[in-house]
Chain A
Amino acid sequence: MRLSQKKTRAARACEERRPNPRQARKVAANAWLLLVLGGFLWLRIWQSESVTHLLQSFARHF
């Protein structure tokens, strides 16, 4: 069989409209990392007293 005739798992999955497990894992990994980083920004930075204080003094200044 020639190389061009070979169908990758991804291409077959695409044709059959099935989700590609490898792609799905990639998306899940990205989403998870985004969630963890977002959680840090929200819980440890945005809600921290020092940032709140900084924002309040910024608001007072203007």
Chain B
Amino acid sequence: MTFLYARAIAAVAVVALAGAGAGRCLAPVWGRERSGLEQVVFTMLGGLGVLGTLLFVVGQFYFTRGLLAAVLVPAAALGIAPAKKFVARGWHFCRERAGAKGAAGVIALVLLITAVAGLAEVRGDWENDAVAYHLLGPRVWLRDAVIRPVPDNCHTAFPQAAEVLFAALLSIGGDRAPGVFAVLPLGLFLLAVAALARRAGLGGYGAWWCMALVVSMPAVYAGARTGFIDVWYASLVMAAVILLLDLRWPADFAALGLFCGLAMGTKYTGLLVAPALALTSAYLWKKSGHRNGREFLAHWMLAGGVACLVASPFYLRNWILLGSPIYPTPEALLRFFHPKYLPVAAIREFQEYMWHRGAGLGRGPLAYLALPFHLTYQTSRFHGAGGIGLAPLAFAPMLLLFGAREKSTKALALLAWVMTSLWFLQQESRFLIPVYGIAAVLAVLGWRAMLARTGRMAAAMALAVVAISLSYGCFMIASARSEELHRVVSPSYAERVRAQQIPYLASFQYLNETAAVRKVLILDRSVPPYYLERDYLKPIGQWDEQVLPGVTRAVDALPRAQELGVTHVLDVQSTIAPFQVPPNFPGLELVVDLPEQRVYRVL
């Protein structure tokens, strides 16, 4: 077990160093006159993002452990020098915490929980996104030695800059590495929030409290768990927001475009970020006394061009291989694109599911106006159980009350409002994480403004607000990960509950350990193939993808098993369907017969 953990930690260190090395080459884009904190944030985020994009492009042709070593080892060697500098700067920043020891303690606690719980084995069924697709794609790519969307899960065709890094981690560090890696994006997100706070006029003290408020938001933490990419995506958006507040030279716009492009290459929601940033940038441009609209447009064309260039591999690949740059294709685009594997009915069903899932607390104007209250008190309905704490709702309005004069504060408020309005269309809490980061900065600005103009009673109540936010958030986070922590500290407990947490474990064990197994036919669409270490075929995918032409029911593939190279068939009785192999089906021999799971050998 110790070796497993050490290997995972070493892999994360190598990938982090490689990110620093790749980022070092990009440093001229954002300039060397920026603060030490911003340098760390931009170098690490830009480096890891570009590394993921580069591996994705090369991986379309060849994706082996040898290739990963050939890219990561030189990049990591290049990263040693900047990493040393970052540690020194980090130490310097930590020393600025005078008086913010409570904030530092909260941050250390949550990062420690993330690191230790990340060592636990990834488990769960098809409802766990990490198992269903975030880690499924990387596993299949490594097995096939090429990056391709998995046809039976359309979500593996989402932009995959982050998942490529998961593949590198799985290859070098084993299946525990992506869990440990979760600390890095979370830490970088916190640093990005701190850099934004400094840019917005807060000192080191205020920046620490911003980080503490953000790290203790369970709704943020939900996007930082093993295999999730939402906090990584939010960090890229935050980097773009930091640049937005100080756009002076064309190179700054190019850097902004780089981070927008990386966000678009990480999540489709990144496509909506660039327009929101452009609108806020127009406000700042006007407030700065600029009158030359043509120059503004030229700068934004540069930013847009860089963003499209950086994100293009993900969208072009989908267009070439799957028939649509955005896959699953939105219904409105079906007139122009004809996606493979996904029937129109499946697309409609998927969109309906997303629409209902994003119902939140209603879609009317009243629900829109009540958003700040609902986000604070009713977040479980936004799939972000635990909420964002009381601080944003309590302190951000203080900026209105006591007058926010700085244009950076007004710009952040405008950006948060535009992004929240866009998000209102699809209310998945995790998609709003960048706004939660901005909200924490606005909250601490409001807190500071309030303390300067009110008395002891308000200060005491403000303290209560912060104490409740931090303690309630930490309690929710710790309780959400207590089971994984238990598994890490008690291997006997982990072994005892393994069969309950991994569906059809006995069948997977048989298929993984039997030498004669070459290709498995999975009949039930709810079976998560993440646990299977062999090649497989799933004729009907999780979202009703149809992998084989003309096969609309999984069982119809059975007569063609030999022709398809299938050696074994996995049939289960799940929550959505009974056993599918008919009794005494010719050409099959039952080799595993357990309650709810059967494995057949193809004769």
A-side interface residues toward B, CB under 8 Å? Answer: 22, 25-26, 28-30, 32-34, 36-37, 39-40, 43-44
Q: Looking at the assembled complex, report how far the CB atom of A51 sits from the nearest CB atom of chain B, in whole angstroms.
A: 13
Complex contacts, A25 vs chain B, CB 8 Å: 401-402, 453
* 3 tightest Cβ-Cβ pairs between the two chains A and B: A33-B461, A36-B394, A43-B377
Task: For A34, give the chain B residue with the smallest CB separation.
Answer: B461
Contact A29 B450 (CB under 8 A): yes
A36-B454 in contact given A25-B402, A28-B401 (Cβ < 8 Å): no
Instruction: Count residues of B near A (Cβ-Cβ below 8 Å).
Output: 23
Assembly CA distance A40 to B402 (angstroms): 24
Complex contacts, A40 vs chain B, CB 8 Å: 377, 390, 468
- The B interface is mostly helix, strand or loop, or mixed, namely helix
Assembly CA distance A39 to B401 (angstroms): 20
Task: For B460, give the chain A residue with the smallest CB separation.
Answer: A33
Contact A29 B377 (CB under 8 A): no
Q: 8 interchain pairs (CB within 8 A)?
A: A28-B401, A29-B398, A29-B401, A30-B454, A33-B462, A36-B465, A37-B394, A37-B465
Complex contacts, A22 vs chain B, CB 8 Å: 453
Contact B453 A30 (CB under 8 A): no
Q: Looking at the assembled complex, report how far the CB atom of A53 sits from the nearest CB atom of chain B, in whole angstroms.
A: 16
Flag whether B36 is at the interface (Cβ < 8 A).
no
Out of B376, B390, B394, B455, which one reaches A26, CB within 8 Å?
B455
Q: Looking at the assembled complex, report how far the CB atom of B456 sits from the nearest CB atom of chain A, in whole angstroms.
A: 11
A33-B453 in contact given A26-B458, A43-B377 (Cβ < 8 Å): no
Complex contacts, A30 vs chain B, CB 8 Å: 454, 457-458, 461
Flag whether B393 is at the interface (Cβ < 8 A).
yes
Please report the number of residue pairs spanning A and B whose Cβ atoms sit closer than 8 angstroms.
51
Complex contacts, A44 vs chain B, CB 8 Å: 377, 472
Contact A36 B393 (CB under 8 A): yes
Complex contacts, A36 vs chain B, CB 8 Å: 376, 390, 393-394, 465
Complex contacts, B398 vs chain A, CB 8 Å: 29, 32
Flag whether B464 is at the interface (Cβ < 8 A).
yes
Flag whether B368 is at the interface (Cβ < 8 A).
no
Q: Looking at the assembled complex, report how far the CB atom of B155 sits from the nearest CB atom of chain A, in whole angstroms.
A: 33
Complex contacts, A39 vs chain B, CB 8 Å: 373, 376-377
Assembly CA distance A44 to B471 (angstroms): 14
Complex contacts, A28 vs chain B, CB 8 Å: 401
A26-B377 in contact given A32-B397, A33-B465, A37-B390 (Cβ < 8 Å): no
Complex contacts, B402 vs chain A, CB 8 Å: 25, 29
Task: For A44, give the chain B residue with the smallest CB separation.
Answer: B377
Assembly CA distance A32 to B401 (angstroms): 10
Contact A29 B393 (CB under 8 A): no
Task: Please name 8 further chain A to chain B contacts, defined as beta carbons within 8 Å, in addition to the given A29-B402, A37-B390, sorted by A numbering.
Answer: A22-B453, A25-B401, A29-B450, A34-B461, A37-B394, A37-B461, A39-B376, A39-B377
Task: For A32, give the chain B residue with the smallest CB separation.
Answer: B397
Q: Looking at the assembled complex, report how far the CB atom of A27 sits from the nearest CB atom of chain B, in whole angstroms.
A: 9
Assembly CA distance A30 to B377 (angstroms): 20
Contact B465 A26 (CB under 8 A): no
Task: For B450, give the chain A residue with the smallest CB separation.
Answer: A29
Complex contacts, A34 vs chain B, CB 8 Å: 461
Q: Looking at the assembled complex, report how far the CB atom of A33 sits from the nearest CB atom of chain B, in whole angstroms.
A: 4
Complex contacts, A32 vs chain B, CB 8 Å: 394, 397-398, 401
Q: Looking at the assembled complex, report how far the CB atom of B259 sits from the nearest CB atom of chain A, in whole angstroms.
A: 34
Assembly CA distance A26 to B451 (angstroms): 10
Complex contacts, B455 vs chain A, CB 8 Å: 26
Complex contacts, B472 vs chain A, CB 8 Å: 44
A37-B468 in contact given A25-B401, A29-B401 (Cβ < 8 Å): yes
Contact A26 B453 (CB under 8 A): yes
Assembly CA distance A22 to B450 (angstroms): 11
Assembly CA distance A31 to B35 (angstroms): 39
Task: For B391, give the chain A residue with the smallest CB separation.
Answer: A36
Q: Looking at the assembled complex, report how far the CB atom of A38 sits from the nearest CB atom of chain B, in whole angstroms.
A: 10
Complex contacts, B394 vs chain A, CB 8 Å: 32-33, 36-37
Q: Looking at the assembled complex, report how far the CB atom of B394 sits from the nearest CB atom of chain A, in whole angstroms.
A: 4
Task: For A26, give the chain B residue with the smallest CB separation.
Answer: B454
Assembly CA distance A43 to B472 (angstroms): 14
Contact B377 A33 (CB under 8 A): no
From A22, A32, A33, A44, residue with most partner B Cβ within 10 Å: A33
